[in-house]
């Protein structure tokens, strides 16, 4: 016995103007509800809440909260794309296929990349707050000790210990 093809649902009419903005908001909320069904997304929400709590504990500046929130929104976006691609792949290829595995693995890699960026950011702000390690200050100290200059198109370093404190000039010419 042959099964009948699925019933075709007509495409909705195109919406413009203010109605388009309301429709777009509705579509985004539907996407969020769909994403909420993903266990990984719920784990990422917990990760974000834990990261915010960690930042509160460290008493980080407001700009670091903003960066963390931006990274989280990036994670949500990549996770949404990951879920969308997985839905399409599952529909196109219900059986196992190499291209389907590759597509899902690449999406997983994209999500992991954002998670690693968040982890690196948290590690840097933790080192900055708890250990007193400030990348910006250390970089400034490096530039002061190793003043870079250009002579004849070649980069040379002038070391601060070569400065004559009396004359305020270099004791040895850079060659």
Q: What tokens does 114 get?
A: 């954002």
With a CB cutoff of 8 Å and minimum separation 6, the contacts of 156 are 148, 149, 150, 174
Whether 69 has a pLDDT exceeding 90, the answer reads: yes
β-partners of residue 147 are 158
Stretch 55-81: mean pLDDT, rounded? 96
Residue 55 CA, distance from chain mean position: 17
User: 4-8, 35-39, 46-50, 105-109: which has the minimum mean pLDDT?
Assistant: 4-8
Stretch 112-122: mean pLDDT, rounded? 98
Instruction: Give the per-residue pLDDT at 153.
Output: 47
Where is pLDDT greater, at 94 or 81? 81
Q: Where are the domains of the chain?
A: 36-133, 142-170
Contact (Cβ atoms closer than 8 angstroms) between residue 128 and residue 119: no
pTM: 0.69
Contact (Cβ atoms closer than 8 angstroms) between residue 149 and residue 174: yes
Where is pLDDT greater, at 160 or 77? 77
Residue 17 DSSP label: T
C-beta atoms surrounding 114 within 10 Å: 18
Which residue numbers are catalytic?
A: 79
Whether 162 has a pLDDT exceeding 70, the answer reads: no
Choose the CATH number for 36-133 among 3.30.160.100, 1.10.150.80, 3.40.640.10, 1.10.287.3610. Answer: 1.10.287.3610
Q: Indicate the pairing of strand 163-164 with strand 146-151.
A: unpaired
């Amino acid at each position: 016995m042959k099964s009948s093809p699925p019933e075709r649902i007509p495409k909705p009419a195109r919406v413009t103007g203010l109605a388009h903005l309301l429709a777009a908001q509705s579509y985004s909320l539907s996407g969020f509800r769909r994403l909420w069904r993903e266990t990984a997304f719920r784990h990422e929400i917990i990760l974000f809440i834990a990261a915010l709590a960690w930042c509160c504990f460290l008493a980080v500046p407001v700009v670091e909260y903003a960066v963390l929130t931006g990274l989280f929104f990036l994670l949500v976006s990549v996770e949404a794309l990951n879920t969308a691609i997985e839905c399409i792949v599952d529909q196109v290829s219900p059986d196992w296929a190499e291209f389907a595995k590759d597509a899902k693995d690449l999406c997983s890699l994209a999500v992991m990349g954002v998670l690693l960026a968040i982890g690196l950011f948290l590690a840097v702000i933790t080192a900055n707050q708890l250990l007193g390690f400030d990348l910006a200050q250390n970089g400034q100290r490096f530039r002061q000790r190793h003043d870079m200059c250009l002579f004849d198109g070649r980069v040379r370093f002038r070391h601060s210990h070569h400065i004559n404190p009396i004359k305020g000039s270099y004791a040895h010419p850079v060659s």
